[in-house]
Amino acid sequence: MASRLCSNIDIHRPSLLSGCLPAKRIPTVVLDAFSNGRLRTPARIQATISDGLPDSTEKSSSGWLHVEYPPSSRPPPTSGRLFDVQHAWELVRQDLLYCDWKARRDVLAIKTLHDKAVEVLNPLARDQKSVETLRHELEALQHDLIEAHEQVHLSEARVAYSLQKLAEMEALVNDKLLQQGTIAESGPKTVDPLPSDGDFAESNARIKHKNRRKGPLNVSGPVKGYSEAIRNFWYPIAFSADVSGETMVPFECFEEPWVIFRGKDGRVGCVQNSCAHRACPLHLGSVNDGCIQCPYHGWEYSTDGVCQKMPSTKFVNVSIRALPCLERDGLIWIWPGGGIPEPTIPSLLPPTGFTVHSEIVLDLPVEHGLLMENLLDLAHAPFTHTSTFARGWPVPSLVKFCTPAATLKGFWDPYPIDMEFHPPCMVLSTIGISKPGKLEGNTTSECSKHLHQLHVCLPSTRGNTRLLYRMSLDFLPILKHMPFIDYLWRYLANKVLDEDLRLVLGQQDRMLRGENVWNQPVAYDKLGLRYRLWRLSIEAGSESASNGR
């Protein structure tokens, strides 16, 4: 019944097109977002073309494409602890309405860019514009078109997840209805009493008492399991250059094995790194014509996890888990959580004028939170990095991280370093470079040369981190083309990391023994402390939600 329901869904809703004038024609725009084996019939998005300009519309060259934001209807309240089918169904319906609206916006953006490209290439326009002007206009349009296509891919992921949740909700509703029917046949139903005002007051008091932090922040003992809330983010897991047409990249994320590879169309996919047949690791096999082949019995899977070939036996429909996966800014991103993916991904590109010189991936035996807090702390540099970049640095009388209240970015005083944390696990930093052993100015704007860094700390397991590092410079771009320069950058990066790692590993050992790694925070711990509080708030919110179910 779930597959029948999904295949009949038509995202076009009359309520979203209310207010339009009589239509001259109704073209159909098909987004083949679900040709991944899970949904055989693509969702259909219809646009109504009218003669006039109604309210809340956006113009295209062929008429008015209505993209009115879906009206928000508040779901009906739940009936105490009883399972309210109408409430659950309304929540899923609202998700689909939003995805419908977002998909229309994305299609309109691509249509508008197409019209602009046609206008630029118009013979009359070419006669009046120089070749250089046309080239710049086409480059700008190409960039905008790439961004629009990326937004379409995001919408595809969101719609696919909404339909998956809709199917799960349908199965849950059927189970509940079946249970209620069985209870009705066996005897009268017993209904749990609604909580009284006193029960609500007592529950709120317990939550406030639990969330109230007493004394210093306590981070000690064994590393806890990962909450569902911390999974519901976009995570960069590899550099695009490391995934070619025939390569696979295995990795672990939140203690689960995954593998990424490119499909026949060149788009990247992320599937469970275990064959549905005998749980053999798929990364030990090969990629054939856009499918990953298990080395054990030759079963092949596409990027959506659906089995495409099953040699030497009768074919049956099986699949393995697949995660929403996108490619942007030279990085491959996944959404490992169970929620609907967010519609935006932060840009992690270096500023204009920088050239990327090195991209490194390392697997480290340290908990990702401790590594994050190390990267967000520059006060340790003249004491820890005495044989690398901070060699000869003077020890200042006072180190401060200057930032507005409650934000996660700012600059270090007196070091010429800007730093920013992007949830859930990314750190961007820009460092003013001078002669070894000297600091040139107190801010990055006072320096003539800069180093830009990206650090990504992906939580692999409770005691291991997958680190992605990208290094860029705004000077000497010719260094990128020097022979063996990659080996030099990797050597220097490993040398700096080793200076940090021996301390963080020791810190982790003490934490596991029960010592508090945040026993006495001081002023220059501001950014690392804010990260830790942010993470605890995310985990506390997830725990409160699970307790409320």
Q: In what order do the strands lie in the sheet with 307-309?
A: 286-288, 291-293, 300-301, 307-309
Q: Which two tokens stand for residue 349?
A: 């590109």
Encode pLDDT of 102-117 as tens digits.
777 777 888 787 777 7
What integer pLDDT is reported at residue 451 of this predicted model? Answer: 92
Reported as type and span, the H/E element at residue 257 is strand 256-262
What integer pLDDT is reported at residue 183 of this predicted model? Answer: 53
What integer pLDDT is reported at residue 129 of this predicted model? Answer: 62
What integer pLDDT is reported at residue 24 of this predicted model? Answer: 38
What integer pLDDT is reported at residue 65 of this predicted model? Answer: 47
What integer pLDDT is reported at residue 110 of this predicted model? Answer: 80
In the predicted model, residues of the chain with pLDDT beneath 50 are 1-66, 73-74, 78-83, 188-214, 549
Q: Which residue has the tokens 């696919």?
A: 160
What integer pLDDT is reported at residue 196 of this predicted model? Answer: 46
What integer pLDDT is reported at residue 542 of this predicted model? Answer: 59
What integer pLDDT is reported at residue 527 of this predicted model? Answer: 92
Please state, in angstroms and rounded to a whole number, the distance separating the CA atoms of residues 419 and 7: 48
Q: Which two tokens stand for residue 230?
A: 């911390």
Please state, in angstroms and rounded to a whole number, the distance separating the CA atoms of residues 227 and 436: 44
Q: Which residue has the tokens 């009206």?
A: 71
Q: Which residue has the tokens 């005897």?
A: 187
Amino acid at 187: G
Are 337 and 232 contacting, i.e. CB atoms less than 8 angstroms apart? yes
Encode pLDDT of 186-195 as tens digits.
554 444 444 4
What integer pLDDT is reported at residue 136 of this predicted model? Answer: 76
What integer pLDDT is reported at residue 58 of this predicted model? Answer: 43
